[in-house]
Structure 1
Amino acid sequence: MKILHIAETLKGGLETYLRMVSGFQQNSPVITQAKFILPGPVDWLSSKDTHVVATARSPLALASYAAEVRRIIRTERPSVLHLHSSIAGGIVRAMALLGQVPQETKIVYCSHGWAFDQIGPSYKKSIYRWTEWLLSYWSDAIICISDHELRIAEKFGIKRCRCIPNGITPAAALLEQGAPERQLPHTRRLLFVGRLDRQKGIDALLESYARVRPGFKLVVVGGAVRNDLSLVPSEDIEFKGWLEKDALEAAYRSCDAIIVPSRWEGFGLVAVEAMARGKPVFASAVGGLVDIVEDGRSGRLFPLERIDEMLREIDQIPADDMARMGRAGRRIFEKKYTADRMNSAIVDLYKESVL
């Protein structure tokens, strides 16, 4: 099989997902070729496996983007087009509707979070929902990245969906580790990792931290992408910005727990990254997070409007209970959220679509 992945944007969890997929598929015995159309070059793919097509937003740029993608599809003649996120998925499936994709090429689509499940004007959400419903008829398979995504797809009649939860490959040392060593008393550290944007709820977290003034240290890793918030830095909070792989690993290892205060979330990759490292997760009860975090076992779920109460509770949870939740999260990760499990399920889906 020849696979051509198309992603019109590349940031955050989507890049992590594509990195995991590319490493597996380029070594799979049933895939003869795995290439990518991306908005820019990346260090985890060779130039021969990457077609760079600039990100598009204006109508003219979208038309130019579609023409270049159509040319590449005709040149590569893939067995499967794997489309990532709503813009690439919308453009290429609209091309299929117009007969501009070879009939023998199968289309697998993953929204990586339904646009109509986000917070926004109801008329926009309605347009997104009806568009996804219509274009599902020009999809041979649709991957939902969480049970939550699958539930709402089925609710609105979106066809041909299957749940394949996101997965990650933690560092080799983490795969071999047993229970974490008992640490000496220290100031508890709570870690936030993600975009400093409204979706991720960082503003709610910072405001709550200032009100509650808990005894633990809050560490924030990430930076703004959408620039839809104005955040005021605080001397009481450790802002680290975006971190490279080794520095991010050190931040995960040095914390006691992770907090994910998202307003909406199709999946919640940071929660899985924390569980892979044996850290408890405190997350808002939205989207895919309610499927990942087992309340009271691997962490806690809370309504975002009650984040003050959650911060006070985090301050009081005994260290032994924190460690217990971390170990439970690690077991859940190994059972449900490894990259090998995700990648094997994706390739099986390809085979079913092609046959």
Structure 2
Amino acid sequence: MKKILHVAETIKGGVATVIRTISTPPEGEDQQYELVYLIPLDQKQELPGIDERQIRTFTRKKRDVLSLLRFAWQLIRVMFKEKPDVVHLHSTFSGVIGRCVCLVMRPWRSPKVIYCPHAFSFLMESSPAKQKVYSLIERLLQKVTDTIVCVSQYEMDKAADFGIDRHRMKLIYNGIPYRKDESKPEVDLDIHLLFVGRLDYQKGFDVLLKAFSQVERADLKLTIVGSAVNSDSVECPAIDSVVYLPWVSPSEVNDLYKKADVLIVPSRWEGFAMVPLEGMAMGLPVIASDCTSLPELVTHDVTGYVFGSGDHQALASLLVNISKHKLAELGAEGRRVVRERFSATLMIQQTYDVYCAQTH
């Protein structure tokens, strides 16, 4: 039996979704793997359905030096005790600290190291100086990494441009469990727009507000789900036909997907966003920016519409012309694409193929 240790310095949002998804081995292989997890104590609720006996924790109040040291120390202890065959590191901080720990531990423990940055830090909008520092760290640490899992072709290509070895990288798209077809309730003739995400600069929340304010259509209704979590959060002004909701449960988000006619994803950068995948799996068309990986998921006039990142005028032009009937057609095609290219089954199989290849 192979033991896999999943390690995350924080698992809020998409990282938790990915970990939950790949916590079920492919059919017929569940007896071949034992899974263990190291996550923050206050985020255990992000892994419902996973046996608590498999979860190891550390105390994290915020991302500060003390919390990161606790994380590193607990990872050392868990590696000594559990003797994992594979350490699967999720996100940048886990990747940096986790690989440093694995390097220090090599005289005593030498598991295979899998790293998924969930979007490299040097691909985010930042100063050239910061990008150089981030890319230097990643280039150095790749030497103690057996496989780097990229979640989009864009991420893989850009990482190669920054000096990451293509032979170490493996493309595995995020996937969504199969969802049964459900006919949407005929609520009214209005067109219901939906935004789900952080209300900040990265997610393009300001672009959405500017665009919506310019469109003079009484039949457009916008529901915004989420809250600000970063210092670059955007103000939430009162606008006619706009409803703001706080973070809600996954079942409540699903209900909102069912009621919506189109999902808006105006991000400035993404790793490989789970929200558009979830919406498309529910038959929602997506209006997305052309940033980073989004064009790999949304095809213009096929599964939704694509506009220039940060261009609120272009988004407004799309909103002026959308129709309920056309949106339904795009949503049906989006559901088909998700089932063929972005299924959880495919994501799980490809992930465990990596584990198998590294431990043979």
In the TM superposition, residue 318 of structure 1 has moved relative to its aligned partner by 2.8
The correspondence for 2:320, drawn from 315, 318, 327, is 315
Is the partner of 1:304 in helix, strand or coil?
coil
| Residue identity opposite 1:142 in structure 2 | I
Change (3 A) 1:290 1:196: same
The correspondence for 2:307, drawn from 291, 302, 311, is 302
Q: How do 1:105-254 residues align onto structure 2 when only pairs under 5 Å count? A: 105-159=111-165, 160-170=168-178, 174-175=179-180, 177=181, 180=183, 183=186, 186-215=189-218, 216-236=220-240, 237-254=242-259
Give the whole-Å Cα distance in 2 for the aligned partners of 1:246 and 1:279: 16
Match of 1:58 in 2: 64
| Residue identity opposite 2:161 in structure 1 | K
| Residue identity opposite 1:35 in structure 2 | V
TM-score, length-scaled by structure 1: 0.92
Is the partner of 2:88 in helix, strand or coil?
strand
Give the whole-Å Cα distance in 1 for the aligned partners of 2:63 and 2:107: 22
TM-score, length-scaled by structure 2: 0.91
Please identify, of 266-275 and 300-309, the stretch whose mean Cα deviation from structure 2 is larger.
300-309
Match of 1:270 in 2: 275
Q: How do 1:67-78 residues align onto structure 2 when only pairs under 5 Å count? A: 67-78=73-84
Contact 1:148 1:287 in 2 (8 A): yes
Match of 1:284 in 2: 289
Equivalent pairs counted in the alignment come to 350
CA displacement 1:284-339 (0-9 Å, x = unmatched):
10111011111221011111343233233233223222111111111110011111
Match of 1:38 in 2: 39
Give the whole-Å Cα distance in 2 for the aligned partners of 1:299 and 1:250: 20
In the TM superposition, residue 27 of structure 1 has moved relative to its aligned partner by 8.0
In the TM superposition, residue 51 of structure 1 has moved relative to its aligned partner by 0.6
Contact 1:261 1:284 in 2 (8 A): yes
Change (3 A) 1:161 1:14: same
In the TM superposition, residue 32 of structure 1 has moved relative to its aligned partner by 3.0
In the TM superposition, residue 202 of structure 1 has moved relative to its aligned partner by 0.8
CA displacement 1:203-224 (0-9 Å, x = unmatched):
2211222233443111101112
Change (3 A) 1:57 1:317: closer
Give the whole-Å Cα distance in 1 for the aligned partners of 2:114 and 2:187: 50
CA displacement 1:76-129 (0-9 Å, x = unmatched):
001100000011110111123334475541000000011111111221111111
Identity within the alignment, %: 32
Is the partner of 1:219 in helix, strand or coil?
strand
In the TM superposition, residue 185 of structure 1 has moved relative to its aligned partner by 5.1
Contact 2:91 2:118 in 1 (8 A): yes
| Residue identity opposite 1:4 in structure 2 | L
Give the whole-Å Cα distance in 1 for the aligned partners of 2:31 and 2:51: 20
Is the partner of 1:308 in helix, strand or coil?
helix
The correspondence for 1:256, drawn from 239, 261, 273, is 261
Contact 1:80 1:350 in 2 (8 A): yes
Give the whole-Å Cα distance in 1 for the aligned partners of 2:92 and 2:323: 43
In the TM superposition, residue 61 of structure 1 has moved relative to its aligned partner by 3.6
CA displacement 1:223-245 (0-9 Å, x = unmatched):
12224224133142111111112
| Residue identity opposite 2:144 in structure 1 | W
Is the partner of 1:3 in helix, strand or coil?
strand
Gaps in structure 1 of 5+ consecutive residues = none
